[in-house]
A = this chain, B = another copy of it.
Amino acid sequence: MMKIVKPTLLLDEERCKRNIKKIAEKAKANNVIFRPHFKTHQSKAIGKWFKNEGTVAITVSSLGMASYFADAGWKEITIAFPCNILQIDLINKLAKKVRLNLLVDNHEVIKLLNSQLSHAVNIYVEIDTGKGRTGVKADDKDLIIDLLTNIDGNKFTKVKGLYLHAGHSYECRNKESIMDVYQDSISHLAELKDLTKDKFPNFEICYGDTPTCSVIDKFENINALSPGNLVFYDLMQEQIGACTENDIAVAVACPVVSINKLKNQVCIYGGAIHFSKEALVVNGVPLYGKVVKLTKKGWSPILKDCNVTGLSQEHGLVSMTDNEMGKLKVGDVLGVLPVHSCLTAECLGEYLTLNGRFLDHYSKKKHA
Protein backbone atom coordinates (compact mmCIF):
# COMPACT_ATOMS: atom_id res chain seq x y z
CA MET A 1 0.00 0.00 0.00
CA MET A 2 1.06 3.62 -0.51
CA LYS A 3 2.59 5.65 2.28
CA ILE A 4 -0.24 7.22 4.27
CA VAL A 5 0.52 10.50 6.08
CA LYS A 6 -2.96 11.93 6.77
CA PRO A 7 -6.55 10.65 7.09
CA THR A 8 -7.21 8.72 3.90
CA LEU A 9 -10.28 6.79 2.77
CA LEU A 10 -9.18 3.33 1.70
CA LEU A 11 -11.39 1.43 -0.70
CA ASP A 12 -11.30 -2.35 -1.05
CA GLU A 13 -12.20 -2.56 -4.73
CA GLU A 14 -12.77 -6.29 -4.60
CA ARG A 15 -15.33 -6.11 -1.77
CA CYS A 16 -17.01 -3.14 -3.39
CA LYS A 17 -17.35 -4.89 -6.75
CA ARG A 18 -18.63 -8.00 -4.97
CA ASN A 19 -21.30 -5.90 -3.22
CA ILE A 20 -22.32 -4.32 -6.53
CA LYS A 21 -22.47 -7.65 -8.34
CA LYS A 22 -24.58 -9.24 -5.63
CA ILE A 23 -27.34 -6.64 -5.70
CA ALA A 24 -27.25 -6.26 -9.50
CA GLU A 25 -27.79 -10.01 -9.81
CA LYS A 26 -30.55 -9.95 -7.19
CA ALA A 27 -32.35 -7.25 -9.17
CA LYS A 28 -31.98 -9.26 -12.36
CA ALA A 29 -33.23 -12.46 -10.69
CA ASN A 30 -36.30 -10.54 -9.50
CA ASN A 31 -36.80 -9.01 -12.94
CA VAL A 32 -36.80 -5.48 -11.53
CA ILE A 33 -34.99 -2.40 -12.77
CA PHE A 34 -31.85 -1.61 -10.77
CA ARG A 35 -31.59 2.11 -9.99
CA PRO A 36 -28.68 2.19 -7.50
CA HIS A 37 -28.43 5.22 -5.28
CA PHE A 38 -25.12 6.92 -5.99
CA LYS A 39 -25.25 9.26 -2.97
CA THR A 40 -23.05 6.86 -1.02
CA HIS A 41 -20.04 6.74 -3.33
CA GLN A 42 -20.62 9.91 -5.42
CA SER A 43 -17.85 8.78 -7.73
CA LYS A 44 -17.75 8.61 -11.53
CA ALA A 45 -15.14 5.87 -11.31
CA ILE A 46 -17.26 3.68 -9.03
CA GLY A 47 -20.28 4.44 -11.20
CA LYS A 48 -18.49 2.63 -14.03
CA TRP A 49 -18.33 -0.55 -11.96
CA PHE A 50 -22.15 -0.47 -11.82
CA LYS A 51 -22.30 0.14 -15.56
CA ASN A 52 -20.17 -2.95 -16.05
CA GLU A 53 -22.87 -4.93 -14.22
CA GLY A 54 -25.54 -3.67 -16.61
CA THR A 55 -26.82 -0.62 -14.72
CA VAL A 56 -28.36 2.03 -16.98
CA ALA A 57 -30.42 4.16 -14.58
CA ILE A 58 -29.23 5.73 -11.33
CA THR A 59 -30.51 7.55 -8.28
CA VAL A 60 -28.92 10.59 -6.58
CA SER A 61 -29.84 12.92 -3.72
CA SER A 62 -29.30 16.36 -5.23
CA LEU A 63 -29.53 18.17 -8.53
CA GLY A 64 -25.85 19.04 -8.31
CA MET A 65 -24.98 15.36 -7.96
CA ALA A 66 -27.26 14.60 -10.92
CA SER A 67 -25.30 17.11 -13.03
CA TYR A 68 -22.02 15.48 -12.04
CA PHE A 69 -23.26 12.05 -13.18
CA ALA A 70 -25.01 13.43 -16.28
CA ASP A 71 -21.61 14.81 -17.27
CA ALA A 72 -20.26 11.28 -16.87
CA GLY A 73 -22.75 10.01 -19.44
CA TRP A 74 -25.61 8.66 -17.32
CA LYS A 75 -28.88 9.10 -19.24
CA GLU A 76 -31.57 8.32 -16.68
CA ILE A 77 -31.39 9.85 -13.22
CA THR A 78 -33.82 9.93 -10.29
CA ILE A 79 -33.42 12.71 -7.73
CA ALA A 80 -34.57 10.87 -4.59
CA PHE A 81 -35.17 14.02 -2.58
CA PRO A 82 -38.32 16.18 -2.43
CA CYS A 83 -38.26 18.36 -5.56
CA ASN A 84 -36.52 21.65 -4.71
CA ILE A 85 -38.44 24.05 -6.94
CA LEU A 86 -35.92 26.84 -6.26
CA GLN A 87 -33.46 24.97 -8.48
CA ILE A 88 -35.83 25.00 -11.46
CA ASP A 89 -33.08 26.29 -13.78
CA LEU A 90 -30.98 23.24 -13.06
CA ILE A 91 -34.05 20.97 -13.33
CA ASN A 92 -34.76 22.32 -16.82
CA LYS A 93 -31.14 22.04 -17.86
CA LEU A 94 -31.00 18.41 -16.73
CA ALA A 95 -34.44 17.55 -18.13
CA LYS A 96 -33.18 18.65 -21.54
CA LYS A 97 -30.17 16.39 -21.30
CA VAL A 98 -31.33 13.20 -19.50
CA ARG A 99 -34.47 11.29 -18.54
CA LEU A 100 -35.08 13.00 -15.22
CA ASN A 101 -37.26 11.48 -12.50
CA LEU A 102 -38.35 13.72 -9.62
CA LEU A 103 -40.08 13.02 -6.30
CA VAL A 104 -43.05 15.02 -5.05
CA ASP A 105 -45.36 14.69 -2.06
CA ASN A 106 -47.54 17.80 -2.41
CA HIS A 107 -49.75 19.65 -4.90
CA GLU A 108 -47.91 22.96 -4.52
CA VAL A 109 -44.74 21.67 -6.15
CA ILE A 110 -46.65 20.14 -9.05
CA LYS A 111 -48.31 23.49 -9.68
CA LEU A 112 -44.98 25.31 -9.54
CA LEU A 113 -43.35 22.74 -11.82
CA ASN A 114 -46.13 23.10 -14.36
CA SER A 115 -45.67 26.81 -14.58
CA GLN A 116 -41.86 26.68 -14.72
CA LEU A 117 -40.82 23.53 -16.60
CA SER A 118 -39.59 23.87 -20.16
CA HIS A 119 -38.83 20.16 -20.67
CA ALA A 120 -40.64 16.97 -19.68
CA VAL A 121 -39.87 15.22 -16.40
CA ASN A 122 -41.16 11.98 -14.90
CA ILE A 123 -42.60 12.10 -11.43
CA TYR A 124 -42.77 9.59 -8.63
CA VAL A 125 -45.13 10.31 -5.79
CA GLU A 126 -43.13 9.64 -2.66
CA ILE A 127 -44.82 7.30 -0.20
CA ASP A 128 -44.18 7.01 3.53
CA THR A 129 -44.87 3.68 5.19
CA GLY A 130 -43.48 4.60 8.59
CA LYS A 131 -40.18 6.45 8.36
CA GLY A 132 -41.99 9.76 8.91
CA ARG A 133 -39.49 11.92 7.07
CA THR A 134 -41.11 12.93 3.78
CA GLY A 135 -43.70 11.44 1.44
CA VAL A 136 -47.48 10.96 1.56
CA LYS A 137 -48.63 8.50 4.20
CA ALA A 138 -49.39 5.21 2.46
CA ASP A 139 -52.95 5.09 3.83
CA ASP A 140 -53.82 8.53 2.47
CA LYS A 141 -55.02 6.98 -0.78
CA ASP A 142 -57.13 9.93 -1.87
CA LEU A 143 -54.18 12.30 -1.79
CA ILE A 144 -51.99 9.82 -3.64
CA ILE A 145 -54.56 9.36 -6.41
CA ASP A 146 -55.15 13.13 -6.57
CA LEU A 147 -51.44 13.80 -6.94
CA LEU A 148 -51.05 11.19 -9.68
CA THR A 149 -54.07 12.56 -11.54
CA ASN A 150 -52.74 16.09 -11.22
CA ILE A 151 -49.30 15.06 -12.54
CA ASP A 152 -50.90 13.14 -15.40
CA GLY A 153 -52.96 16.10 -16.53
CA ASN A 154 -50.06 18.39 -17.30
CA LYS A 155 -47.92 18.97 -20.36
CA PHE A 156 -44.43 18.55 -18.91
CA THR A 157 -45.05 16.16 -16.03
CA LYS A 158 -45.53 12.41 -16.63
CA VAL A 159 -46.48 9.89 -13.98
CA LYS A 160 -43.56 7.59 -13.24
CA GLY A 161 -45.03 5.78 -10.25
CA LEU A 162 -44.45 5.55 -6.52
CA TYR A 163 -41.15 5.87 -4.68
CA LEU A 164 -40.58 4.46 -1.25
CA HIS A 165 -37.56 4.62 1.05
CA ALA A 166 -38.53 2.44 4.01
CA GLY A 167 -35.92 4.14 6.18
CA HIS A 168 -37.47 2.88 9.40
CA SER A 169 -35.66 -0.38 8.62
CA TYR A 170 -32.63 1.43 10.10
CA GLU A 171 -34.22 0.92 13.53
CA CYS A 172 -34.04 -2.85 13.05
CA ARG A 173 -31.39 -5.04 14.63
CA ASN A 174 -32.00 -8.38 12.91
CA LYS A 175 -33.29 -9.94 9.73
CA GLU A 176 -36.74 -10.76 11.14
CA SER A 177 -37.57 -7.17 12.02
CA ILE A 178 -36.31 -5.95 8.63
CA MET A 179 -38.65 -8.47 7.01
CA ASP A 180 -41.52 -7.12 9.12
CA VAL A 181 -40.88 -3.59 7.86
CA TYR A 182 -40.70 -4.88 4.31
CA GLN A 183 -43.91 -6.95 4.59
CA ASP A 184 -45.82 -4.04 6.02
CA SER A 185 -44.54 -1.71 3.32
CA ILE A 186 -45.35 -3.97 0.40
CA SER A 187 -48.84 -4.70 1.68
CA HIS A 188 -49.49 -0.95 1.37
CA LEU A 189 -47.89 -0.91 -2.07
CA ALA A 190 -50.01 -3.84 -3.26
CA GLU A 191 -53.18 -1.92 -2.39
CA LEU A 192 -51.92 1.19 -4.13
CA LYS A 193 -50.95 -0.81 -7.20
CA ASP A 194 -54.47 -2.25 -7.40
CA LEU A 195 -55.97 1.21 -7.18
CA THR A 196 -53.80 2.65 -9.92
CA LYS A 197 -53.08 -0.15 -12.39
CA ASP A 198 -55.88 0.62 -14.85
CA LYS A 199 -55.22 4.30 -15.10
CA PHE A 200 -51.41 4.19 -15.24
CA PRO A 201 -50.35 1.10 -17.18
CA ASN A 202 -46.59 1.84 -17.10
CA PHE A 203 -46.65 2.55 -13.43
CA GLU A 204 -43.44 1.72 -11.54
CA ILE A 205 -42.95 1.10 -7.84
CA CYS A 206 -39.40 1.88 -6.83
CA TYR A 207 -38.23 0.69 -3.44
CA GLY A 208 -34.93 0.89 -1.81
CA ASP A 209 -33.20 0.91 1.50
CA THR A 210 -30.03 -1.01 2.12
CA PRO A 211 -31.26 -3.21 5.01
CA THR A 212 -34.22 -4.51 3.03
CA CYS A 213 -32.32 -4.91 -0.23
CA SER A 214 -29.63 -6.82 1.63
CA VAL A 215 -31.76 -9.37 3.45
CA ILE A 216 -34.78 -9.87 1.17
CA ASP A 217 -34.22 -12.22 -1.75
CA LYS A 218 -37.64 -12.29 -3.41
CA PHE A 219 -39.38 -8.96 -4.07
CA GLU A 220 -43.10 -8.71 -4.73
CA ASN A 221 -45.16 -5.78 -6.03
CA ILE A 222 -41.98 -3.87 -6.75
CA ASN A 223 -40.61 -2.87 -10.16
CA ALA A 224 -37.34 -1.18 -9.27
CA LEU A 225 -34.76 -1.15 -6.47
CA SER A 226 -32.66 1.85 -5.46
CA PRO A 227 -30.45 1.07 -2.44
CA GLY A 228 -27.26 3.06 -1.96
CA ASN A 229 -25.20 2.27 1.09
CA LEU A 230 -24.63 -1.39 0.18
CA VAL A 231 -21.90 -0.39 -2.23
CA PHE A 232 -19.65 0.07 0.83
CA TYR A 233 -21.70 -0.89 3.90
CA ASP A 234 -20.49 0.28 7.34
CA LEU A 235 -20.79 -0.36 11.09
CA MET A 236 -24.37 0.86 11.17
CA GLN A 237 -25.42 -1.70 8.57
CA GLU A 238 -23.50 -4.36 10.45
CA GLN A 239 -25.37 -3.43 13.63
CA ILE A 240 -28.69 -3.57 11.77
CA GLY A 241 -27.86 -7.01 10.45
CA ALA A 242 -27.67 -6.01 6.79
CA CYS A 243 -24.04 -7.08 6.33
CA THR A 244 -21.09 -8.68 8.06
CA GLU A 245 -17.83 -6.89 8.70
CA ASN A 246 -16.32 -8.71 5.72
CA ASP A 247 -18.69 -6.81 3.42
CA ILE A 248 -17.48 -3.39 4.60
CA ALA A 249 -15.46 -2.00 1.70
CA VAL A 250 -14.04 1.22 3.17
CA ALA A 251 -11.77 2.08 6.08
CA VAL A 252 -10.13 5.33 7.08
CA ALA A 253 -6.36 5.20 7.56
CA CYS A 254 -5.43 7.52 10.45
CA PRO A 255 -1.96 8.41 11.79
CA VAL A 256 -1.34 7.87 15.51
CA VAL A 257 -0.19 11.20 16.98
CA SER A 258 -0.35 10.75 20.76
CA ILE A 259 -0.41 7.79 23.12
CA ASN A 260 -1.64 7.80 26.71
CA LYS A 261 -0.47 4.53 28.25
CA LEU A 262 -2.09 5.16 31.63
CA LYS A 263 -5.54 5.45 30.05
CA ASN A 264 -5.01 2.96 27.19
CA GLN A 265 -6.02 5.85 24.97
CA VAL A 266 -4.62 6.84 21.60
CA CYS A 267 -5.17 10.06 19.70
CA ILE A 268 -5.41 9.67 15.93
CA TYR A 269 -5.36 12.27 13.20
CA GLY A 270 -8.95 11.71 12.10
CA GLY A 271 -11.85 13.71 13.54
CA ALA A 272 -15.34 15.00 12.86
CA ILE A 273 -14.25 16.63 9.60
CA HIS A 274 -13.07 13.24 8.34
CA PHE A 275 -15.74 10.88 9.70
CA SER A 276 -18.70 13.24 10.27
CA LYS A 277 -20.22 12.75 13.72
CA GLU A 278 -22.58 9.82 13.26
CA ALA A 279 -22.40 7.53 16.29
CA LEU A 280 -23.65 4.13 17.26
CA VAL A 281 -24.69 3.95 20.87
CA VAL A 282 -23.27 0.77 22.41
CA ASN A 283 -24.06 0.12 26.09
CA GLY A 284 -25.11 3.75 26.40
CA VAL A 285 -21.78 5.06 25.10
CA PRO A 286 -21.27 6.67 21.67
CA LEU A 287 -18.98 4.78 19.31
CA TYR A 288 -17.63 6.54 16.20
CA GLY A 289 -15.64 3.72 14.61
CA LYS A 290 -13.96 0.38 15.18
CA VAL A 291 -10.25 -0.21 14.78
CA VAL A 292 -8.54 -2.53 12.30
CA LYS A 293 -4.87 -3.08 11.52
CA LEU A 294 -3.70 -2.11 8.06
CA THR A 295 -2.08 -4.98 6.19
CA LYS A 296 -0.33 -5.35 2.87
CA LYS A 297 -3.56 -6.51 1.26
CA GLY A 298 -6.03 -4.26 3.05
CA TRP A 299 -7.03 -4.52 6.68
CA SER A 300 -7.41 -7.08 9.47
CA PRO A 301 -10.62 -8.19 11.19
CA ILE A 302 -11.91 -5.69 13.78
CA LEU A 303 -9.67 -5.51 16.87
CA LYS A 304 -11.91 -6.51 19.75
CA ASP A 305 -12.68 -3.68 22.22
CA CYS A 306 -10.67 -1.09 20.28
CA ASN A 307 -13.13 1.70 19.54
CA VAL A 308 -13.19 5.34 18.54
CA THR A 309 -14.88 6.90 21.57
CA GLY A 310 -14.59 10.60 20.79
CA LEU A 311 -14.24 12.94 17.82
CA SER A 312 -13.40 16.61 17.86
CA GLN A 313 -12.66 18.64 14.73
CA GLU A 314 -9.44 16.83 13.76
CA HIS A 315 -8.76 14.58 16.78
CA GLY A 316 -10.08 11.06 17.20
CA LEU A 317 -9.81 9.37 20.58
CA VAL A 318 -9.39 5.61 20.51
CA SER A 319 -9.79 3.32 23.47
CA MET A 320 -7.41 0.36 23.12
CA THR A 321 -6.88 -2.90 24.95
CA ASP A 322 -3.70 -3.55 26.98
CA ASN A 323 -2.55 -6.00 24.38
CA GLU A 324 -2.95 -3.73 21.36
CA MET A 325 -1.64 -0.76 23.31
CA GLY A 326 1.69 -2.46 23.88
CA LYS A 327 2.36 -2.74 20.16
CA LEU A 328 1.53 0.86 19.22
CA LYS A 329 3.83 3.81 18.69
CA VAL A 330 3.47 7.39 17.50
CA GLY A 331 3.77 7.48 13.71
CA ASP A 332 1.89 4.21 13.20
CA VAL A 333 -1.24 4.26 11.06
CA LEU A 334 -4.47 2.65 12.28
CA GLY A 335 -7.47 1.74 10.19
CA VAL A 336 -10.97 2.70 11.32
CA LEU A 337 -14.21 1.24 9.97
CA PRO A 338 -16.71 4.10 9.78
CA VAL A 339 -20.17 4.18 11.34
CA HIS A 340 -21.75 5.80 8.27
CA SER A 341 -19.81 5.39 5.05
CA CYS A 342 -21.91 7.86 3.00
CA LEU A 343 -20.99 10.75 5.32
CA THR A 344 -17.37 9.67 5.71
CA ALA A 345 -16.88 9.52 1.94
CA GLU A 346 -18.48 12.96 1.61
CA CYS A 347 -16.07 14.31 4.25
CA LEU A 348 -12.92 12.81 2.79
CA GLY A 349 -13.72 13.61 -0.83
CA GLU A 350 -11.61 10.96 -2.55
CA TYR A 351 -10.73 7.28 -2.39
CA LEU A 352 -7.45 5.42 -2.39
CA THR A 353 -7.82 1.85 -3.66
CA LEU A 354 -5.71 -0.87 -2.12
CA ASN A 355 -3.62 -0.97 -5.27
CA GLY A 356 -2.83 2.72 -5.00
CA ARG A 357 -5.23 4.48 -7.37
CA PHE A 358 -7.05 7.65 -6.30
CA LEU A 359 -10.73 7.81 -7.33
CA ASP A 360 -12.63 11.06 -7.41
CA HIS A 361 -15.70 12.00 -5.33
CA TYR A 362 -18.23 14.67 -6.27
CA SER A 363 -17.38 16.73 -3.17
CA LYS A 364 -13.77 16.97 -4.40
CA LYS A 365 -12.60 17.95 -0.95
CA LYS A 366 -8.89 17.42 -1.11
CA HIS A 367 -7.43 18.69 2.11
CA ALA A 368 -8.66 16.12 4.63
Contact = CB atoms under 8 A, between A and B. Distances in A.
A194 B175 CA distance: 63
Tally of this chain's copies: 2
A63 to B, nearest CB: 8
B330 A81 contact: no
Interface residues of A, number: 61
B346 A258 contact: no
A133 B330 contact: no
B331 A81 contact: no
A346 B273 contact: yes
Interface stretch (A51-59, A84-92, A300-308): A84-92
Contact of A87 (B5, B273, B314, B330): B5
Nearest to A342: B313
A345 B185 CA distance: 38
A368 interface: yes
A118 interface: no
B267 A82 contact: yes
A4 B276 CA distance: 25
A363 interface: yes
A130 interface: no
A343 to B, nearest CB: 6
A39 to B, nearest CB: 6
A278 B368 CA distance: 19
A150 interface: no
A312 interface: yes
Interface in A78-112: 81-87, 105-106, 108-109, 112
A327 B2 CA distance: 56
Nearest to A167: B312
Contacts of A330: 85, 106, 108-109, 112
Contacts of A363: 273, 365, 367
A367 B65 contact: yes
Nearest to A332: B86
A333 interface: yes
A82 B260 CA distance: 12
A314 B83 CA distance: 12
A322 to B, nearest CB: 19
Nearest to A260: B134
A317 B312 CA distance: 24
A329 interface: yes
- Pick from A134, A313, A366 the residue with the most CB of B within 10 Å: A313
A315 interface: yes
A276 B272 contact: yes
A313 B134 CA distance: 13
A310 interface: yes
Contacts of A133: 267, 310, 312, 315, 317
Given A6-B64, A84-B255, A84-B257, A313 B269 contact: no
Given A6-B86, A106-B259, A108-B329, 10 more contacts: A3-B86, A4-B86, A5-B87, A39-B314, A132-B263, A133-B310, A133-B315, A362-B367, A364-B364, A364-B365
17 contacts: A4-B86, A5-B86, A5-B87, A6-B64, A6-B86, A61-B313, A61-B314, A81-B269, A82-B267, A83-B257, A84-B257, A106-B330, A133-B267, A134-B258, A276-B276, A277-B278, A363-B367
